[in-house]
Amino acid sequence: MGDKGFRDLRIWQKSKDLAVEIYKITGNSKFQRDFGLRDQIRRSAVSIASNIAEGDERDTNKEAVRFFHIAKGSLAELSTQLQIASEIDYIDKTIFFDLDCKLRELGKMIGSIIKVRQKTKKRL
């Protein structure tokens, strides 16, 4: 484990906050009728934060990077699912735009942490 732990990582905090926001948004009546999409969106959102935490707790940067890549894949899944939810009017376009901006920022952050960890020989 790093000196500070995953809870101190800004990337983890943002991804965890996103998951909480997703749970609140998908609690609306339109999602209540669509268990499949709602649950898949929630799983993808939780997976991002969970894999960032797990990656940061791994013993080597190689292992950490693998989990950060999984988090990035979950982010792509979530982006796709939210796009679909927006197009079928489950999510207001303004809310979708806000979420999409957060996802893009998080994607850049994950890409950055992957690059840093790939270049670093020692555990951070």
Res. 29 pLDDT band, cuts 50 70 90? confident
Q: Is 5 left (phi over 0), alpha (psi -120 to 50) or beta?
A: left
Could you report the per-residue pLDDT of 69-122, keeping only the tens digit for each?
Answer: 999 999 999 999 999 999 999 999 999 999 999 999 999 999 999 999 999 866
CA 58-63-68 angle, 5° bins? 90
Res. 8 pLDDT band, cuts 50 70 90? very high
Could you report the per-residue pLDDT of 43-74, keeping only the tens digit for each?
Answer: 999 999 999 999 999 989 999 999 999 999 99
Q: From the DSSP assignment, how many helices (H) and strands (E) are in the chain?
A: 5, 0
Let me know: does 9 contact 52? Beta carbons within 8 Å.
Answer: yes
Let me know: does 45 contact 101? Beta carbons within 8 Å.
Answer: no
Query: Is 123's pLDDT higher than 60?
Result: no
Using alpha carbons, select from 85, 18, 11, 21 the residue that is nearest to residue 53: 11
Cα separation of 73 and 84, whole Å? 17
Q: What pLDDT score was predicted for residue 2?
A: 45
Cα separation of 79 and 26, whole Å? 14
Cα separation of 115 and 30, whole Å? 39
The CATH superfamily holding the domain 6-119 is 23S rRNA-intervening sequence (1.20.1440.60)
User: DSSP strand E in the chain: where?
Assistant: none
The predicted model gives 28-53 an average pLDDT of 94
